Amino acid sequence: MEHRQFGRSGLKVPVLGLGTATFGGIGEFFERWGRTDAAEAERLVDLCLEAGANFFDTAD
């Protein structure tokens, strides 16, 4: 996984991350936008970790 310098912080972050907005969502919004159940979410996280990605966007 390629990493880049994060500004002047001294931190390096991966160039790819996984957005998790659909993980565990319920309600009308998720019925239209999509939802990811726990088993599929775990599979996606595992795939990312295996590929060296460690950035997960957990914002609503």
Cα separation, 30 vs 27, whole angstroms: 6
Alpha-helical (H) ranges within the chain are 28-33, 38-51
Per-residue pLDDT of the chain (60 residues; tens, 9 = 90+): 888 999 999 998 889 899 998 888 788 887 787 788 899 999 999 999 998 888 899 886
Tens digit of pLDDT for each residue in 28-40? 887 787 788 899 9
CA dihedral 13, 18, 21, 22 (to 10 degrees): -170
